[in-house]
Amino acid sequence: MPAQPPARSDLDSGNGPGHPIDAAYPNGARIWNYQLGGKDNFRIDREASETASAMMQDIGAPTGEDAAQEGRHLLQRMVDAMLGQGIRQFLDLGSGFPNMANTHQIAHRTDPAARVVYVDLDPVVSTHSAALMAGPNVVTLNADLREPQQVLGNQRVRELLDFGEPVGILFVCMLHCLWDEEDPWAVVRAFRDAVVPGSALAISHLTDETRPQAAQQLFQLTQDLHWSTPLICRSRADIMRFFDGFTLVEPGLVFPAQWRPELNNPLRVAGDHDREGEPVPVLQGAPPAQPGEGRGSDMHLCGVGIKD
């Protein structure tokens, strides 16, 4: 699968498909929002999502909706697992539009003093996040993760997080948006090198291991429809390389439904209130299903590593 960006053309400059607020081309953050049942998307995003889902259904592969729903359940379990390790501060990188069970709501269920930084490239995502997820222990940042210093050198981030204490680093369904040429491994290394041993790294990433044909078709669709970012399915070995300098916790690098299903405890009871009396968002969708049950993604590999 090609993993280099196409040569830049006139379309790519200005408000072209690589530009996050462009409404003439499908945008990854808005598509994900649509797949999670959100309203922050345009017709171009909904059509792109439905084209992708129809294509995947035709070849019996899991859809984006499956992956998105499952990803939010996985996020909850991964954050809870990190909280169980004593981690109380989180960098949620490529966090997406505020949606069901956001990281700070999951963390504050255990400890209202937990601190969370949300980072996204999309300025509309960041504006929504700043408006909807504001709080004393939350920072939202509009930044490009391809330049980690935009995050690590940011004053608000450094004021909120104590880099002398362990940090939970979350790249959930984000790194497959970066081309090989952009060196996503170097991006992860920059965050690894900024945190102390005992910090945790959580990744969920599209893989071509199980369904190479679906992986290739999905990538090609993102190129043909000029999605704002590609979807690059990588091999298990390439995904494992993100964990260099970390030791994977049990059960290792597995499909999302196989990752600690016993931690399933979703924030999804309508009318629930958190400790401050605010209603918590409903985590929709079914709990994890084993791949092969008709839903559940066998096109993602995920894991959590602890920094050595």
* Angle 49-217-64 from CA coordinates, rounded to 5°: 30
Instruction: Name the pairing type of β-strands 115-120 and 89-93.
Output: parallel
Binding mask 124-143 for ligand SAM (x = CB under 6 A): -x------------------
Interactions with ligand SAM, residue window 187-216 (CB under 6 A): none
DSSP assignments along 206-249, one per residue: EBSSS-HHHHHHHHHHHHHTT-SS----B-HHHHHGGGTTEEEP
Applying CB under 6 A, the span of 11-19, 117-125, 205-213, 243-251 interacting with ligand SAM comes to 117-125
Q: What is the spatial distance between Cα 174 and Cα 246, in angstroms, rounded to a whole number?
A: 19
Residue 116 in contact with ligand SAM, rule: CB under 6 A: no
CB of 122 to ligand SAM, least distance (A): 4
Residue 32 in contact with ligand SAM, rule: CB under 6 A: yes
Residue 172 in contact with ligand SAM, rule: CB under 6 A: yes
Output the furthest CA–CA distance in the chain (Å, rounded): 51
Task: Determine which residue in the list 52, 82, 116, 121 makes contact with ligand SAM, applying CB under 6 A.
Answer: 121
Element (H, E) at 297: none
Residue 95 in contact with ligand SAM, rule: CB under 6 A: yes
Cβ distance to ligand SAM smaller for residue 89 or 95: 95
Helices (H), 85-122: 103-110
Task: Determine which residue in the list 229, 233, 297, 298 makes contact with ligand SAM, applying CB under 6 A.
Answer: 229
Cβ distance to ligand SAM smaller for residue 96 or 266: 96
